[in-house]
Amino acid sequence: MSQLDTIKKRVIPNLLALLVKGFLEFKKVEIQCQEDSELVVKVVMSEEHCKSVKFWATLQKSCIAIMELIDWERSRPGSVYDIFCSYGIDSAWKYFVESLRSKTDDIGRNIRREHLLVVANCLSVSGQFHGLSSQGLKQQRTRLSISSPFSEACFSRPAHTFINAAKQSSVDNLCGTVDAMAWGKEPSTGTSGPFKIIYSGKAHAPIPNENIYDFLNSPEVWQAPGEAFLNGSTISVEQDFLVATVGIWDNIIDMRTCLQNMLREYQLNECVVELDKSRVIEALRFHPRGREKIGAGIKDIKIGHHPSHPGTRCFIMVRDDGTTEDFSYKKCVQAAADSISPELGRYVERILRNRAVSS
């Protein structure tokens, strides 16, 4: 059994069943295993003993004893508003823009960055940054003293919203896009234009098989190697490249995880052991400038900080002539993926990009 199999089958199940206690501010602590077999600790706040604005600072203070064991560069609060409270509006703004771009890319939506910036600017115009949710939009309207019961009703509890608006004698000037369109008015923002709702004159005809159980049982799906068929249409499933062997690794995910773990487990300026050294050298073989990096030959491999990014760890190669050279493991992984197939290259590029955003 390999070291990775041991971790997957023995260590991870035990960690997932582990209970962590000790602080009233923490409601619960979950040890989760992500898709790439990376362990993540999720801490949930106790609303009874802690306020949201103080939670991140409380968590950091509670982790002083194990400060060196935590990768703080990739640790962050769980919501945009908590990031705003802990690091300021600029950090929350940047995180929101990159997260929104990443999510839209994942679902295949090509949205111009200028439009993403407009959304972020609208959410931060009040001087605070709330998330893009019904509660966040409500808090933003409250801070800006904007009365828009119709827009608010579109997101949550219409009856309750209208009753409260009637009690408070609220007035909606239909300035927003949603509430304006709800009343057939031309929206005042975006690339809008005049429109009319016209009755076609055709009577409404119910669609056959509207029963939910009939609908769920109607699609016929056939499984076949490498592809699936849904109602006669072919859906390509190109996942075979994920199990392709990469050098001395079983697959590309194993390669990335192995190199990541080295950067975390070794101390700064510590040289890697001979076994890990051979693995790093094997990865360096895929680097686009591998030969140039190696130069006079490799004497040692150690862990250090990137010259341009002091807070980011990277591999430092000590050459036989005493000179040093840093290199990024991500470029090695990306080049290795590209060498196998374009599909795998795009898949790995998306993973590395999303990981950088969440760091």
pLDDT tens-digit series, residues 160-199: 888 888 888 888 777 777 777 777 777 766 555 565 667 7
Q: Answer yes or no: do 233 and 304 share one domain.
A: no
The single-letter code of the amino acid at 40 is: V
pLDDT at 37: 66
- Same domain flag for 233 and 266: no
Let me know the angle formed at the C-alpha of 279 by 32 and 6, rounded to the nearest 5 degrees: 40
Query: pLDDT at position 349, please?
Result: 81
pLDDT for the residue numbered 132 = 75
Parent domain of 260? 252-358
Amino acid identity, position 1: M
Q: Supply the pLDDT for residue 226.
A: 43
Last residue of a domain, one of 56, 75, 94: 75
Q: What is the CA radius of gyration of the chain?
A: 27
| In-domain check, residue 338 | yes
Q: What is the pTM of this model?
A: 0.40
Q: Is residue 194, in this structure, part of any structural domain at all?
A: no
| Domain termination residue (choose one: 57, 75, 93) | 75
User: Given this model, what pLDDT does residue 222 score?
Assistant: 34
Identify whether residues 61 and 90 lie together within a single domain.
no
- Domain-embedded: residue 195: no
174 and 265: one domain? no
Final residue of a structural domain among 182, 200, 217 = 182
pLDDT at position 82: 79
User: How far are the Cα atoms of 76, 153, 272, 358 from residue 311, in angstroms, in the given order?
Assistant: 15, 45, 20, 15
Claim to verify: residue 334 and residue 267 sit in the same structural domain: yes
The strand pair at 221-224 and 39-45 is best described as unpaired
Asked whether the CA dihedral 101, 105, 106, 109 is positive or negative, the reply is: positive
Instruction: Walk along the chain (359 residues) in steps of 10 and give the mean pLDDT of each run.
Output: 76 72 72 70 76 77 81 77 81 85 79 85 80 73 74 76 83 76 70 63 67 50 39 42 60 81 86 87 86 85 81 85 86 85 79 58
95 in any annotated domain: yes
What is the number of structural domains in the chain? 4
pLDDT of residue 6: 79
pLDDT of residue 336: 84
Query: Tell me, what's the pLDDT at 358?
Result: 44
Question: Mapping DSSP to helix (H, G, I), strand (E, B) and coil, where does residue 45 land?
Answer: strand
In this structure, the answer to whether residues 350 and 280 fall within a common structural domain is yes
Is 123 part of any domain?
yes
Q: Which pLDDT score, from 0 to 100, does residue 20 have?
A: 58
> Is 148 within the bounds of a domain?
yes
Token pair in block for residue 353: 């990009």
In a domain, 23, yes or no: yes
Of 200, 202, 181, which is closest to residue 190 (Cα–Cα)?
A: 181
Residue 348 shares a structural domain with residue 266: yes
Q: How many residues does the chain have?
A: 359
Each residue of 250-288: pLDDT tens digit?
677 788 888 888 888 888 888 988 888 888 888 888 888
Do 47 and 109 share a structural domain? no
- Sign of the CA dihedral running 129, 134, 137, 143: negative
Kindly state whether residue 140 falls inside one of the protein's structural domains: yes
Residues 64 and 153 in one domain: no
Q: Which of 32, 104, 31, 38 is nearest to 264 (CA)?
A: 38
